[in-house]
Amino acid sequence: MLSRVANHIYWMGRYLERAEGMTRTMTVHDQMLMDLSDFERTPTWYQLIAINSNEQVFAKHFNEVTEHNVLQFLTSSLDNPSSIASSLAGVRYNLRACRSIVPISMYEIANQVCLEAADVSGNNVTHAQRRNFLRSVELQLLAVSGAASGGMSRNEAFLFMRIGQVIEKADMTTRILDVRSANLIRNESEENLTPYENAQWVAILQSLKAFQIYMSETRRPINGPEVLNFVLKNHQHPKSVRYCIKRLAGFIERLAGTDDLQLQVAQLLKRVDQADVLQLAKDQAGLHQFMDSLQNDLSKLGNSFTAHFFPAPLEDLIEVQQDELFESDQAQTQTQTQSQEQR
């Protein structure tokens, strides 16, 4: 496969996952806010901006933290690199470049959801409309994944897409854990949880589509250390940090000449395996530090990966030429800036 196209399909994988993660997180948050409306320390939508460390970007574009502003920022703002609209724009940009190698059905569904999202403006959207929108985007993104896994050959293209997806997924999980657990960590983990705390831990699981599996596999009530352990270290849940990194290791092994990368992934896996969850569950600062360093390592890994496979910078300027069918009064060629798709 062409190196240039591999780059695009890798980023398409990342943006797909980012869009899906944000959509899911918003849906769950919405549910939780309704449950917690009576409690004093009710978390706000603003928490979701912190998940992607976009507080400064928000402050630059909005004067006030209102529900309307925050929701617009999360859903339709193109200034927010993690908004649903931005992620889908990233999907579409990269999809265009690899259009000739993805299944037609996958292109059609992805194209459709991107168009739909672009049509929904953040203004004057009712609560019910927002819920329907999130639901529709989530289902369509699932259909995109289905079209990809059902229609793509297990070749390099698929591998690069999956690598982008698992890196992004692991990153998203650590971010959700980090921010969501911020005011939940207590020194005495033995006590029963308040309904407020319970709802928040449940929300973490639900954001990762892990609630059902957690219940059936651990067969224990919701409690902090157990949830943390599950989300971080579970071997079978596709969104646990460990699972994602293990998958990543498997994918990278299949690519020739990646010894350095393999070593980097192995080290990361070891760090996750050796993490002392009981300790972290009691130590707010320690947990934050640990999640932060995992995100750092993932980001470094992503950089090493792109540097390894896509070393040559693409031409910044490309000339645009018209085909004969479309020749009109305009000049024959013109230049446009093609920006790279990195975040």
Partner 1 sequence: MSSCWGKYRSEFHDELLDENGKPRQAAVALFNYLDNLSNEELKARKLAADLAIRQMGITFSVYSEGCNIDREWPFDIVPRIIENREWIKVRQGLEQRLKALNRFIDDLYHQQQIVKDGIVPAALFASSQNFRQQCVGVKPPHAVWAHICGSDLVRDTDGTLYVLEDNLRVPSGVSYMLENRAVMKRTFPEIFNECTVLPVHDYLQNLRQTLCSLSEEKLPVLCVLTPGVFNSAYFEHAFLAQQLGAVLVEGSDLMVDDDDCVYIRNVDDFQKVDVIYRRVDDEFLDPEVFRKDSTLGARGLMRAWKAGNVAIANAPGAGVADDKVVYTYVPDIIRYYLNEEPILANVPTWRCEDEESRQYVLANLSSLVVKPANESGGYGMLVGPHSTKEEREEFVTLVNQNPRNYIAQPTLGLSTSPTLTDEGMAARHVDLRPFVLQGEEVTVTTGGLTRVALVKGSLVVNSSQGGGSKDTWIVDTTDRAVSDVMREPGVK
What are the residues binding partner 1 (CB under 8 A)? 1-6, 96-97, 99-101, 104, 107-108, 111-112, 115, 156, 160, 255-257, 309, 312, 314-315, 317-330, 334, 336, 338
Q: Smallest distance from the beta carbon of 119 to partner 1, in angstroms? A: 11
Q: Which two tokens stand for residue 147?
A: 């079209």
Q: Smallest distance from the beta carbon of 112 to partner 1, in angstroms? A: 5
CB 225 within 8 A of CB 204: no
Q: Smallest distance from the beta carbon of 1 to partner 1, in angstroms? A: 6
Choose between 85 and 281: whose C-beta lies nearer to partner 1: 85
Burial (CB < 10 A; 0-12, 13-18, 19+), residue 14, is: buried
31 phi, psi to nearest 5 deg: -60, -45
Q: Smallest distance from the beta carbon of 338 to partner 1, in angstroms? A: 7
Quote the CA–CA distance of 132 and 144 in Å, as a whole number: 18
CB 138 within 8 A of CB 88: no
Quote the CA–CA distance of 136 and 130 in Å, as a whole number: 10
38 phi, psi to nearest 5 deg: -85, -10
Q: Smallest distance from the beta carbon of 100 to partner 1, in angstroms? A: 4
The length of the chain is 343
Q: Smallest distance from the beta carbon of 308 to partner 1, in angstroms? A: 10
Give one DSSP letter per residue of 64-114, joined into a string. Answer: S--HHHHHHHHHT-SSSTTSHHHHHHHHHHHHHHTGGGS-HHHHHHHHHHH
Choose between 152 and 179: whose C-beta lies nearer to partner 1: 152
Choose between 59 and 115: whose C-beta lies nearer to partner 1: 115
Q: Which two tokens stand for residue 19?
A: 């869009």
- The dihedral through the CA atoms of 202, 240, 183, 274 has a sign that is positive
Choose between 154 and 220: whose C-beta lies nearer to partner 1: 154
β partners of residue 333: 321
Q: Smallest distance from the beta carbon of 317 to partner 1, in angstroms? A: 7
Q: Which amino acid is at 333?
A: T
Choose between 293 and 334: whose C-beta lies nearer to partner 1: 334
Choose between 3 and 299: whose C-beta lies nearer to partner 1: 3
Choose between 172 and 252: whose C-beta lies nearer to partner 1: 252
